[in-house]
Copies of this chain bind each other. A is one copy, B any other.
Amino acid sequence: MTAMQHSWPETLRDCGLRVTRQRLAVLDAVAEHPHQPAEAIHAEVARRLPEITVQSVYTVLHDLTAHQLLRRFDPPGSAACYETRTHDNHHHAICTQCGRIEDVDCVHGEAPCLEAPAGLGMEVEVADVVFRGICRNCAAQNAGEHKAAQPV
């Protein structure tokens, strides 16, 4: 779980990227709290690096995503979020009530994990799956609200 395949500085240099405090802080923040949008990442990073701007966080996220150090995920209807699991073609489950995102391991492991249907006018490279439903927390809360009555 807490395994570190490589140190961030090393990984950055391997991609031909310079090692900066900003990038390290963003990588740490995303690793520790995956599936957070840029604003939240900025808030977290700013606790260590108060001078960092949101725009820089956007730039860093963009660059690191382009170099596959981060993976970007666009939940339908809300801001993009980021994660450090980049090379395992995993999928996502979203709670339609609270928006919480969970990783879902891909059974195949390699992209594309689903066969593209024949006759499609497209050479399929990746298949992304998004599961949607109600998470345990929300389900429990909903059940509880049956007896309690709580106006928002």
Which A residues lie at the B interface, using CB under 8 A?
72-74, 76-77, 93, 95-96, 102, 104-105, 107, 112, 114, 116-117, 120-136, 139
Contacts and interface: CB of A to CB of B under 8 A. Distances in A.
B136 A116 contact: no
A104 B129 contact: no
Contacts of A107: 117
A105 B117 contact: yes
B139 A123 contact: yes
A124 B132 contact: yes
Given A107-B117, A123-B133, 6 more contacts: A104-B120, A112-B131, A121-B135, A122-B131, A122-B136, A123-B139
A116 B105 CA distance: 10
B128 A132 contact: yes
8 closest cross-chain pairs (CB), A and B: A74-B76, A124-B133, A125-B133, A124-B131, A128-B130, A126-B132, A122-B135, A123-B133
